[in-house]
A and B are shown apart, each in its own frame.
Chain A
Amino acid sequence: MMNGALGKMLCLKNDIIFKQAFSLLRVRTSGENPISSAGGILLSTSRHYKTRPIHGIGRYKHLVKPKEPKKKRAKVEVRPINLGADYEYGVLNIHLTAYNMAVVESYAQYAHNLCNHLSIKVEKSYSMPTKTMEVLRLQDQGSKMLPDSVLTTHERVVQISGLSATFAEIFLEIIQSNLPEGVRLSVKEHTEEDFKGRFKTQPELEELLAKLN
């Protein structure tokens, strides 16, 4: 008796579930046909994967940070950040100049590696165009100038940022004491003129600008 009653209840339950399922299906089928006939993006009845538990298993695009498109001439005009008592320098340029290219390049490499090792952020490491100087010597007998030698000056720049004032002292001392022979060191703050000095002069652009003004 009890079993029968239970069984009936279960059957009733099953009926209800089936009825709900049927109603859902009916909704789906009735709702989809006009949409699919209109050529919509919604799924057709043959695709069931949205109901499967593995739906969206390979999704990762929502986890990756969107990359901003890099501007061609990104300006880095960071003013020196003052953190109360502790000061931090903005962007600093370390200029290394010498007549001997191999020495200057290897020292620029050393400076770059040193910054990496001391976790100082290196923005970029570039070279300025070489300047050629011809040395003319006055002839012993006479006033004619004879070409004596040709000197090429090479310059390498390592640009760093985020140097704290307390550490700057030690860093400067390390770099100064490790300078090889013939290399001149100069540490300056990065300015607009430094940035613009790397570009070639464009006479046509200047002419057009002059015409405009």
Chain B
Amino acid sequence: MAAPIRQSLFGVAKGRWRFEGLWAGSLGSRSLALAAAPSISGSPWRLLGAVCLQRPPLVSKPLTPLQEEMAALLQQIEVERSLYSDHELRALDEAQQLAKKKADLYDEEGDEQNVLLTQDMEDAWEQKFLQFKPGARITEADKKNDRTSLHRKLDRNLVLLVKEKLGDQDVWMLPQAEWQPGETLRGTAERTLATLSENNLEAKFLGNAPCGHYKFKFPQAMRTESSLGAKIFFFKALLVTGDFSQPRKKGQRVWVCKEELGDYLRPKYLAQVRRFLLDL
């Protein structure tokens, strides 16, 4: 009889302790939340949102020799298997009529059936074609290898890189900004674009999810209790229109394709960035 009572008391006591424990925990967390509003509660990592702004290719890539041969072969097969089009039928009819006229030496129908002969039309089209000049594939910027302009490498994706000061070193990286609580990481990326100096870039973010991340720890000198390092989340955006209005300083911004990234970025950073860059 004594034993069960003791057990029940014990049980009650335990329950109460747990309850009090929960209470204390919740109160504690609330106070922590109040105190930690400006910074992330507990985590020693700083969060940064970066934007990987890509200029999509404007021109298709030139065909490889194999593709050229195949294309020529398929075109030939198609032409040989095709039927005559309206234009070609008309040309054949007119050729026949002309032959008949010459043979008979008198007009059967009086005037010609149509004012414009197919031969005349073809000549006119030929003239127009000669007047048309397609744009150059290899632009001036390519020849000069001017990496700050958007007009080079029209058949590749170009990514924007920015030079920034980290501590006492100049580092090339994708444009980034610090995350502020209350905003989504994608919002951070959009803010980065807006705050990049003097530009009227219009970008389209395809989704809300980041496409890659990079984590690094600060060097020993800079480490404090609350900041051990930083985590950068990359967001992909496609450039719709716009460009930097003035080259502010040379060597600050660069539009770079995938192979040239290696010239600028640090190896580990580069390895992470390369993982999500799609190059077709």
Which residues on A are within 8 Å of B, measured CB to CB? 165-166, 168-170, 172-174, 176-178, 180-181
Contact = CB atoms under 8 A, between A and B. Distances in A.
A168 B205 CA distance: 12
B278 A173 contact: yes
Given A170-B278, A172-B206, 17 more contacts: A165-B209, A168-B207, A169-B207, A169-B211, A172-B207, A173-B206, A173-B236, A173-B238, A173-B278, A174-B278, A174-B280, A177-B56, A177-B57, A177-B157, A177-B278, A177-B280, A178-B280
Contacts of A178: 280
Interface in B168-215: 206-209, 211
B278 A166 contact: no
In order of increasing CB-CB distance, the 9 nearest A-B pairs are A169-B207, A169-B206, A166-B209, A177-B280, A172-B206, A181-B60, A173-B278, A168-B207, A165-B207
Given A177-B278, A177-B280, A178-B280, A169 B56 contact: no
A173 B205 CA distance: 11
Contacts of B207: 165-166, 168-169, 172
A137 to B, nearest CB: 10
In the complex, which range does the number of interface residues on chain B fall in?
A: 10 to 19
A89 to B, nearest CB: 11
Contacts of A177: 56-57, 157, 278, 280
Nearest to A179: B60
Contacts of A173: 206, 236, 238, 278
B60 A180 contact: yes
A176 B239 CA distance: 13
Q: Max chain B CB contacts within 10 Å: which of A176, A180, A181?
A: A176
23 contacts: A165-B209, A166-B207, A166-B209, A168-B207, A169-B206, A169-B207, A169-B236, A170-B211, A172-B206, A172-B207, A173-B206, A173-B236, A173-B238, A173-B278, A174-B278, A174-B280, A176-B56, A177-B56, A177-B57, A177-B157, A177-B278, A178-B280, A181-B60
A184 to B, nearest CB: 14
Contacts of A172: 206-207
Contacts of B209: 165-166, 169
A176 B238 CA distance: 11
B224 to A, nearest CB: 32
Contacts of B157: 177
B58 to A, nearest CB: 11
A173 B209 CA distance: 14
A172 B238 CA distance: 11
